[in-house]
Amino acid sequence: MESKSIDPRTLAKLKGLRLRARHIVEGYVAGLHKSPYHGFSIEFAEHREYAPGDDLRYVDWKVFGRTDKVYLKQYEDETNLLCYLVLDVSESMTYKSAAAPLSKLEYAQSLAAALGWLVLQQQDAVGLATFDSQLRAMIRPAGNPSHLEQLLHAMEAAVPGKKTAAGPIFHELAARLTKRGIVVILSDFFDDVASLAAGLKHFRHRRHDVVLLHVLDPAELDFPFQGPTEFKGLEEFPEVQADPLVIRRAYQRELESFRQSLQQACRSERIDYYLVRTDQPLDAVLLNVLGSRQRSVQ
């Protein structure tokens, strides 16, 4: 399929999350094969011999080529997939630089809407939690197509809070999400890494499959500012006057150190980490995340 490149600049011209979600679905996601990533989060467990009536999609053709025997890939959980979308709605997520078409929150909402639609297309179930310093909304997973409207409404209704406390929220969610599934967290993760890591470990202890989508504005990564600048504090931090040329190198070192620490925490718990820039086309992000996860179970 030829990519139609769902550029965030195009999405920025569309008013409202519903319209942006519809554009993503009709312009890109709907063009995919009906269920190309079915079971993309389910972990491979073992092989078993083919029996008449089994679904041929799960035949391991590599094993067949070596042995001339038909075996199926069997997964740890062959029931319907549960997907929990966890969206950060804290004040720092509202940041949008001059070079970015969408704020981090708008971009994360668009990604969450596309992923929710895709899960429902697979006839699986998707739920949503929004948080800042508290758990703000929680919608139980459901698999009916009309459920997407409820998720979109909850995302649109979110009022960004002043502060974030992702680590404690992850502990709370891990305790509340009793049925094992895939947890997709969309956030800038501006919190203490040790606290984040402890919360993520709790998800893994409950045997959830966890995916981090680290959403950052291009200016946060590239730090393109020139001349004396007043940096506005978010999440109750004060405003700061600084010369970007003086602090750029130290700032980028700190940010890269933070990202590497977060990635290391993810690697140690077998959690998938993806850096997402808000100037990236959404189709490129979707292909990267879903495609790499699909390859990991083949």
pLDDT number for residue 54: 64
For the stretch 176-191, pLDDT in tens is 998 889 999 999 999 9
Q: What's the whole-model pTM score?
A: 0.79
Among candidates 143, 24, 129, which has minimal Cα distance to 80?
Answer: 143
What confidence score (pLDDT) does residue 93 get?
Answer: 94
pLDDT recorded at residue 46: 56
58 and 137: one domain?
no
Q: Total structural domains in the chain?
A: 2
Q: Is residue 100 part of a domain?
A: yes
CB 235 within 8 A of CB 162: yes
* Same domain membership, residue 95 and residue 63: no
> By the 8 A CB rule, do 85 and 151 touch?
yes
- State residue 55's pLDDT score: 64
- Rounded CA-CA distance 51/72 in Å is 9
Residues 49 and 113 in one domain: no
Statement to judge: residues 182 and 128 lie in one domain: yes
Residue after which a domain boundary falls, among 75, 98, 133:
75
115 found inside a domain: yes
Please check whether residue 1 lies inside any domain of the structure.
no
Q: Give yes or no: residues 65 and 130 share one domain.
A: no
Looking at the structure, tell me whether residues 24 and 159 fall in a common domain. yes
Given this model, what pLDDT does residue 134 score? 92
CA 172, 216, 225, 9 torsion: positive or negative? negative
Q: What is the pLDDT of residue 14?
A: 76
Residue 283's domain is classified under what CATH number? 3.40.50.410
Per-residue pLDDT reduced to its tens digit, 190-244:
999 999 999 999 999 999 999 999 999 999 999 888 876 666 665 556 677 766 7
In a domain, 232, yes or no: yes
Residues 51 and 137 in one domain: no
Query: Is residue 2 in a domain?
Result: no
With respect to residue 62, please indicate whether it lies within any of the assigned structural domains. Answer: yes
Based on the fold, state whether residues 54 and 150 are members of the same structural domain.
Answer: no
pLDDT at residue 40 in the model: 46
φ, ψ of residue 195 in degrees (nearest 5): -65, -45
Which run of H or of E encompasses 244?
A: helix 244-268
Alpha-carbon distance of 286 to 111, in angstroms, equals 8
250 inside domain = yes
Residues 205 and 267 in one domain: yes
Check whether residue 284 and residue 155 sit in a common domain: yes
pLDDT computed for residue 38 by the predictor: 47
Contact 91, 123 (CB under 8 A): no
Domain that holds residue 54: 44-75
Residues 114 and 234 in one domain: yes
- 146 & 262 share domain: yes
Which residue, of 60, 75, 90, is where some domain finishes?
75
Low-confidence ranges of the chain (pLDDT < 50): 1-4, 32-45, 76-79
pLDDT of residue 39: 47
Structural domain includes residue 254: yes
